[in-house]
């Protein structure tokens, strides 16, 4: 066609003569007229197509089931209009649950963002207090606001921090006068805080230390306050006069996160109290704020509330994960086991699956069920977790999995010693213990060295109870036990004096006592332990793990100093946390009452007596009484066990069945059952 050649003919016109020149000029004019007409017709056609799309879009919400088919239809009608890409992108975002899902959504949303900036940048950057002027702009502002909110979350969930930051910077420049979803400065601050332990060589938008990054995040939140105030003045004739008060809670939310992380209890409490009177009070975050103050009862209450709250997306509910630590603290891991199994079953392999498996591993370990714990730890290690809406990232996840495996190894060693009190005379048992001890030190050394390069270790791990910690105080001890005793002893002694959180001081006292015991300073350690027991603020219900570790340390100290065991403390240890005892190395004084008759029954009792339990025959009222009753029901062999102390029933009559095929494991299981180890299915899976 001729217009394809116009760029060649036009430069030749001055070289032509006479009528040829006139013909060429006329042709050129006609071509220009045709081009203008064609452009006008195309513009009218495009305008008509977009009008059609806008009309059909009415009633189609971003997250409706019609968003995907409508989005694809609109792209066929006009692929240069952003609406089709927006609807398909938001639909995919709403239904994404893994890396590939969020990546697919981000591709669509980024295309929509590019098209919006190309065609409607002027409308997006317009700010006005005139309602008549604002109404035509509103649909573009609302679309951009939600589009960027979804795209931001896609980049966050696929860990593409540079694209996330670039997007937020674009939003900052456009400066929408009403950010319903986006909250640009708040999310800039969140992004800095979430990556606070990196430096500018990792992400160009960061500073070069955690302290500087936290200060920068706080400064961004101050900028958010300033923007809200500017927007409120502009919007007072368009929106509610309460515009400022409806936006400020978003800033308070992130302020509370920053101050909690810094262990600034006073400032953190100030912002939580401001949030308490709003509909966005963060129950989960406040529960963790209680944890860092060792207020575990209050934490438990708010975690329970958080479990009932909708998050709005498929993110992991931190409340279920952190409840596993609370359950361990209050000596009720069985509650957590049942709950977490239900959560995992209900949610499947969605974000949070890995974290829930770590939590379940923990509760199983504190209930003494090592083999089952290993199964769930392996599931967590093999799962690719997506960290949505949380400051807990992959480094926290990997660390938690590794530490659970370390705890498993420690308990496996102690189990071998418990089942055979003469283990040091058994070559097979000695060999197994040596092998697992080497594996334990290897794991411990690996974790310590990996964490040695993490600038957060002082604030999150070695500082007992912090908002970003994913482990219990007991697991902190398992990590540092045997490493740099003098360093940690000096550190924790200083913490006793400098720690402002009153309830936390006693935990540093316990660690100091345990470190002194490592150095043979049993007498000084004993003084710390006795001072802890004089603390009247200890929560007898929610600090059972803490009390059990104090009793355990007291028993060891008195054995070393006076070669005797205080039977009162021993019975308190059992009553407080019986499932810890088989893994403590302490030989618990117990009195056996049994009715064995057959050879199999006698063999079971014989093996029970070979475990690391101090079976006594005296009638001392301080000993724990164990009652074993054998019986038969048809072809089933039954064992019923009961544990009492004086007239107090510690474990009510409980029975289980066995046959010849399981005879090898029966006495081993029974050894643990009398310490309340094992779940309702009576399974501890001995191997």
Residues 6+ apart with CB under 8 A from 617: 591
pLDDT of 335 > 70? The answer is: yes
The yes-or-no answer to whether 439-583 and 588-673 have a common fold is no
Angle of helix 318-329 relative to helix 283-291, nearest 10 degrees, comes to 30
Hey, what long-range contacts does 209-216 have (CB within 8 A, 24 or more apart)?
Answer: 209/455, 210/455, 210/456, 210/459, 214/258, 214/261, 214/262, 216/192
Helix and strand totals (H; E) in the chain: 28, 5
Distances (CA, A) of 666 to 63, 592, 603, 658, 659: 56, 17, 10, 7, 9
Q: Residue 7's pLDDT is what?
A: 44
Domain 439-583 CATH (choose: 1.20.950, 1.10.287, 1.10.10, 1.25.40)? 1.25.40
- Cα gap 254→264, rounded to integer Å: 14
Task: Provide the pLDDT confidence category of residue 312 given band limits of 50, 70 and 90.
Answer: low
Q: What average pLDDT score do residues 452-472 get?
A: 83
- pLDDT, residue 684, reads 46
Categorize the per-residue pLDDT at 239 as very low, low, confident or very high, splitting at 50, 70 and 90: confident
Looking at the predicted structure, is the pLDDT value of residue 33 above 80? no
> Cα Rg for the chain, rounded, in angstroms?
34
pLDDT for position 213: 95
Instruction: Find the helix packing angle between 567-576 and 544-562, rounded to 10°.
Output: 150
Angle at the Cα of 406 from the Cα atoms of 405 and 411, rounded to 5 degrees: 95
What phi, psi does 268 have (nearest 5°)?
A: -60, -45
Specify the range with the lowest mean pLDDT, choosing from 254-263, 323-332, 349-358.
349-358
Indicate whether 458 pLDDT > 50: yes
**pLDDT recorded at residue 188:** 97
Residues forming beta bridges with residue 630, ordered by sequence position: 639
Question: Cβ distance 87 to 60 under 8 Å?
Answer: yes
Average pLDDT estimate for 659-663: 78
Which distant-in-sequence residues (6+ apart) come within 8 Å of 495 by Cβ? 463, 505, 508
Rounded to an integer, what distance in angstroms lies between the CA atom of residue 241 and that of residue 237?
Answer: 8
573 pLDDT band, cuts 50/70/90, is: very high
What does the pLDDT read at residue 179? 93
Q: What is the DSSP string of 401-412?
A: HHHHHHHHHHHH
Name the nearest CA neighbour of 348 among 336, 339, 357.
357
Q: What is the pLDDT of residue 82?
A: 94
Banded model confidence at residue 3, pLDDT cuts 50, 70, 90: very low
Q: Express each pLDDT in 49-103 by its tens digit.
A: 888 888 888 888 888 888 999 999 999 999 999 999 999 999 999 888 788 899 9
Which tens digits make up the pLDDT trace of 89-119? 999 998 887 888 999 999 999 999 999 999 9
**Angle (nearest 5°) at CA 409 between 513 and 325:** 60
DSSP state of 565: -
Higher pLDDT pick, 31 / 2:
31
pLDDT for the residue 311 = 66
Residue 417 has pLDDT above 80, yes or no: yes
Q: Residue 5's pLDDT band (boundaries 50, 70, 90)? A: very low
Local confidence band at 379 (pLDDT 50, 70, 90 cut-offs):
very high
Question: Exposed, middle or buried: residue 65 (CB in 10 Å: 0-12, 13-18, 19+)?
Answer: exposed
Residue 681 pLDDT > 80, yes or no? no
| Per-residue confidence (pLDDT) for residue 635, from 0 to 100 | 80
Residues 197-238 pLDDT 10s: 889 999 999 999 999 999 999 999 999 999 999 999 999 888
Mean pLDDT of 22-39: 54
pLDDT the model gives residue 26: 57
Assess contact for 480 and 488: CB atoms under 8 A: yes
Stretch 356-362: mean pLDDT: 95
Say what the pLDDT of residue 1 is: 40
CATH code linked to domain 588-673 = 3.30.160.150
C-alpha span between 2 and 26 (Å, rounded): 13
What is the residue-averaged pLDDT of the chain?
88
CA distance 527 to 561: 12
Q: What is the DSSP letter of 585?
A: T
**Higher pLDDT pick, 535 / 636:** 535
pLDDT of residue 322: 94
Q: What are phi and psi of 178, to 5 degrees?
A: -145, 105
Q: Which of 127-141, 146-160, 591-605, 659-673 has the lowest mean pLDDT?
A: 659-673
Q: Which of 292-306, 369-383, 456-470 has the lowest mean pLDDT?
A: 456-470
- Which range, of 2-6, 196-200, 662-666, averages the lowest pLDDT? 2-6
Domain ranges of the chain: 2-57, 439-583, 588-673
Q: Are 93 and 156 in contact (CB under 8 A)?
A: no
Predicted confidence at residue 18, as pLDDT, reads 55
Give the model confidence (pLDDT) of 254-292 as tens digits.
Answer: 999 999 999 999 999 999 999 998 988 999 999 999 999
Distance CA 317, CA 322 (A): 9
Distance between CA atoms of residues 183 and 176, nearest Å: 10
């Amino acid at each position: 066609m001729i217009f394809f050649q116009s760029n060649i003919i036009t430069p030749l016109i001055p070289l032509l003569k006479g009528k040829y020149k006139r013909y060429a000029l006329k042709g050129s004019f006609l071509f220009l007229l045709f081009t203008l007409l064609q452009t006008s017709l195309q513009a009218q056609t495009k305008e008509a197509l977009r009008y059609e799309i806008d009309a059909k879009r009415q009633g189609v919400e971003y997250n409706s089931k019609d968003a995907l088919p409508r989005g694809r239809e609109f792209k066929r009608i006009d692929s240069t209009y952003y609406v089709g890409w927006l609807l398909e992108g938001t639909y995919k975002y709403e239904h994404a649950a893994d890396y590939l899902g969020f990546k697919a959504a981000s591709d669509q949303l980024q295309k929509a963002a590019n098209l919006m900036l190309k065609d409607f940048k002027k409308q997006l950057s317009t700010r006005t207090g005139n309602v008549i002027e604002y109404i035509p702009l509103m649909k573009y502002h609302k679309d951009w606001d939600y589009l960027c909110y979804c795209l931001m979350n896609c980049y966050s969930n696929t860990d593409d921090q540079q694209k996330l930051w670039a997007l937020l910077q674009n939003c900052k420049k456009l400066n929408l006068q009403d950010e319903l979803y986006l909250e640009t400065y708040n999310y800039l601050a969140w992004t800095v805080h979430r990556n606070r332990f990196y430096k500018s060589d990792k992400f160009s938008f960061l500073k070069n230390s955690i302290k500087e990054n936290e200060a920068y995040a706080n400064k961004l939140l101050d900028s958010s306050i300033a923007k809200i105030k500017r927007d409120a003045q502009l919007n007072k004739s368009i929106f509610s006069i309460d515009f400022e008060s409806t936006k400020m809670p978003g800033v308070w939310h992130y302020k509370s996160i920053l101050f909690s992380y810094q262990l600034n209890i006073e400032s953190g409490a100030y912002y939580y109290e401001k949030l308490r009177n709003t509909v966005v009070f963060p129950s989960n975050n406040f529960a963790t704020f209680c944890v860092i103050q060792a207020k575990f009862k209050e934490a438990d209450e708010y975690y329970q509330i958080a479990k009932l709250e909708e998050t709005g997306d498929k993110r992991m509910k931190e409340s279920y994960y952190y409840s596993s630590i609370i359950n361990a603290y209050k000596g009720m891991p069985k509650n957590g086991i049942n709950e977490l199994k239900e959560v995992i079953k209900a949610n499947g392999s969605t974000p949070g699956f890995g974290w829930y498996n770590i939590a379940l591993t923990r509760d199983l370990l504190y209930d003494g069920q090592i083999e089952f714990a290993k199964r769930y730890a392996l599931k967590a290690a093999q799962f690719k977790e997506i960290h949505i809406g949380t400051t807990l990232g992959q480094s926290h996840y990997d660390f938690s999995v590794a530490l659970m495996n370390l705890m498993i190894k420690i308990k496996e060693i102690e189990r071998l010693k418990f089942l055979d009190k003469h283990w040091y005379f058994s070559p097979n048992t000695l060999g197994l213990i040596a092998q697992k001890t080497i594996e334990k030190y290897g794991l411990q050394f690996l974790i310590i060295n990996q964490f040695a390069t993490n600038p957060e270790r002082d604030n999150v791990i070695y500082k007992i109870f912090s908002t970003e910690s994913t482990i219990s105080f007991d697991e902190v001890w398992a990590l540092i036990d045997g490493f740099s005793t003098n360093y940690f002893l000096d550190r924790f002694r200083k913490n006793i004096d400098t720690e402002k959180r009153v309830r936390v001081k006693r935990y540093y006292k316990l660690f100091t006592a345990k470190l002194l015991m490592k150095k043979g300073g049993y007498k000084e350690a004993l003084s710390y332990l006795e001072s802890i027991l004089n603390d009247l603020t200890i929560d007898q219900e929610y600090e059972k793990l803490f009390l059990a570790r104090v009793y355990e340390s007291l028993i060891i100290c008195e054995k070393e100093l006076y070669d005797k065991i205080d039977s009162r403390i021993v019975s308190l240890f059992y009553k407080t946390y019986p499932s810890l005892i088989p893994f403590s190395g302490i030989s618990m004084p117990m009195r056996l009452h049994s009715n064995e008759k057959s050879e199999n029954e006698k063999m079971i009792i014989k093996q029970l007596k070979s475990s690391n339990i101090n079976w006594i025959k005296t009638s001392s009222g301080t000993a724990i009484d164990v009652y074993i009753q054998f019986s038969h029901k048809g072809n089933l062999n039954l064992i019923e066990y009961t544990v009492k102390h004086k007239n107090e029933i510690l474990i009510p009559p409980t029975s289980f069945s066995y046959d010849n095929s399981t005879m090898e494991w029966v006495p081993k299981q029974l050894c643990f059952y009398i310490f309340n180890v094992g779940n309702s299915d009576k399974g501890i899976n001995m191997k």
